[in-house]
Structure 1
């Protein structure tokens, strides 16, 4: 994975992009929220530059993946922590956690992979986990009938 300068707009944008891609699907609601909350601008990037960082992340994930993208759980914890460690500014960490939680909830449900990723951000940075307005979808247990 490529690295970015510490606390750079690109290092912050990559974290947001990772959360957008966490459930293998970027919904229209998430893209609308990205624009509505002016997230690229809040990270000091233009929308095209933010999308370039997202594309670079996809390229890196594709290059380093042993199989097709199956969500954030496919990224080794050490790689995710290395991305998080590129942001050391406490204020920027708080902003990123809030922006990511906003994006996750924008489609009115929380995928377990998204929730895990955002919780791991908070835990890694020793910040409180966000309080969700929506409930995470339950993952079906393999081998058991789902009602």
Structure 2
């Protein structure tokens, strides 16, 4: 995977890109959310830059896969941990979480891989002082409940 400076717009955008592609595709409702929320602008990027980061992330991810493995899907845990750790600024973390939630719920469905990614981010970063998150407590509990269920099977 490419490296980006800690707390850079590119590092933050890559995490949002992971959320955007976690279920294996990007649907039109997710694309509309990108535009409506000006996700690229909120991260300090031009729309074309965000698209380039999504493309680079997909290329890096597919290049890291073996020829028999799928080219999309969850990253291995150590790589995901490394990417999440690139963001340690609390305000940027809150923004990234908010944007990740927005793109994952844009299609009105949370896929297992989206839930797992959100859980990994929230578990790594801990509780965030963000009003959006406190208003969506059930969504925050869902990833942890999913992890407990998946771990017991």
| TM-score for the superposition, normalised by structure 2 | 0.81
Map residues 11-90 of structure 1 onto 2, 5 A cutoff.
11-66=11-66, 67-72=69-74, 75-90=75-90
1:122 aligns with 2:129: no
CA RMSD of aligned residues (A): 2.0
1:68 Cα shift? 2.0
1:119 Cα shift? 1.3
Secondary structure of the equivalent of 1:81? Answer: helix
* TM-aligned CA distance change 1:70 to 1:48, over 3 Å: closer
- Aligned partners of 1:86, 1:17: CA distance in 2, in Å? 14
Map residues 85-104 of structure 1 onto 2, 5 A cutoff.
85-104=85-104
Q: Which runs of structure 1 show a deviation greater than 2 angstroms over 4 or more consecutive aligned residues?
A: 127-132
| Structure 2 gap ranges (5+) | 147-153
- Aligned partners of 2:62, 2:53: CA distance in 1, in Å? 14
Query: Partner residue of 1:143?
Result: none
1:70 Cα shift? 4.3
- Aligned partners of 1:78, 1:39: CA distance in 2, in Å? 26
For this pair of structures, how many residues does the alignment match? 134
- The structure that is helix-richer by fraction is 2
| Structure 1 gap ranges (5+) | 139-147
- Aligned partners of 1:8, 1:21: CA distance in 2, in Å? 20
Secondary structure of the equivalent of 1:7? Answer: coil
